[in-house]
């Protein structure tokens, strides 16, 4: 079976020697209010493992995840079912990630009217292994002139799993994973090429 992550030799990405720890097993909490008060916003818990989803092969259904975006709001993957989604897993310390970030808004602008969402998930801040904080998220948004594409405050504990079952298994940074309108993976690669990214987006639209 075609594996989810494959490396295109012509592309450049950041590798980092540290182990990528797995997602800590937290179950989703469901609130059942007895009155008409609105339910509180769900916590940004990262990947939410489920029996109908995994992160191993092309064709697998993506597990839901919730993270905080650059506006301080919770961004929920399953709220965007029916859209074509590109997940860009990057780190602040990764130079190729920084260079690739300059293309994000242009790509988002060109395809957003067709039901496309470019989502940057920052796994580390300026130091490898340390989760990004709000100031680093704000700086990323400002440096790359991002206005309509979500930039999410991730972490290794919330998003990664070296088995690829309870979270994402990455081969380097940046890693791009493409999710179709049916919430299933249809492509993935390590390293940035704007031309190739646009080809893969158009394949899913």
Domains in the chain with CATH codes? 53-204 (3.40.30.10)
Flag whether pLDDT at 154 surpasses 50: yes
**How confident is residue 158, by pLDDT bands cut at 50, 70 and 90?**
very high
pLDDT of residue 60: 96
- What's the rounded mean pLDDT across residues 5-10? 42
Closest residue by Cα to residue 150 from 92, 83, 72? 72
Q: What is the pTM of this model?
A: 0.84
Closest residue by Cα to residue 68 from 8, 128, 141, 145? 141
Flag whether pLDDT at 197 surpasses 90: yes
3-state SS string for 3-67: ECCCECCCCECECCCCCCCCCCCCCCCCCCCCCCCCCCCCCCCEEECCCCCCCCECCCECCEEEE
Q: In this structure, what are the phi and psi dihedrals at residue 149, rounded to the nearest 5 degrees?
A: -105, 130
Flag whether pLDDT at 104 surpasses 80: yes
Per residue in 12-50, pLDDT tens? 467 654 444 333 334 343 444 455 665 556 787 999 999
């Amino acid at each position: 079976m075609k594996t989810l992550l494959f490396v295109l030799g012509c592309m450049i990405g950041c590798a980092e020697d540290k182990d990528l720890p797995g997602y800590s097993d937290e179950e989703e909490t469901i609130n059942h209010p007895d009155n008409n008060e609105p339910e509180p916003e769900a916590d940004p818990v990262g990947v939410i493992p489920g029996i109908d989803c995994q992160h191993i092969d092309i064709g697998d259904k993506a597990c839901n995840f919730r993270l905080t975006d650059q506006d301080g709001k919770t961004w929920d993957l399953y709220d965007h079912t029916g859209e074509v989604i590109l997940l860009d897993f990057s780190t602040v310390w990764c130079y190729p990630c920084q260079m690739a970030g300059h293309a994000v808004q242009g790509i988002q602008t060109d395809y957003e009217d067709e039901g496309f969402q470019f989502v940057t998930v920052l796994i580390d801040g300026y130091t490898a292994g340390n989760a990004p904080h709000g100031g680093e998220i704000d700086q990323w948004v400002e440096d790359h002139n991002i206005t309509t594409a979500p930039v999410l405050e991730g972490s290794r504990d919330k998003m990664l799993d070296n088995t690829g079952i309870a979270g994402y298994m990455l081969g380097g940074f940046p890693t791009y994973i493409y999710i179709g309108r049916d919430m299933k993976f249809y492509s993935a690669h390590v390293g940035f090429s704007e031309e190739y990214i646009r080809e893969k987006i158009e394949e899913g639209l």
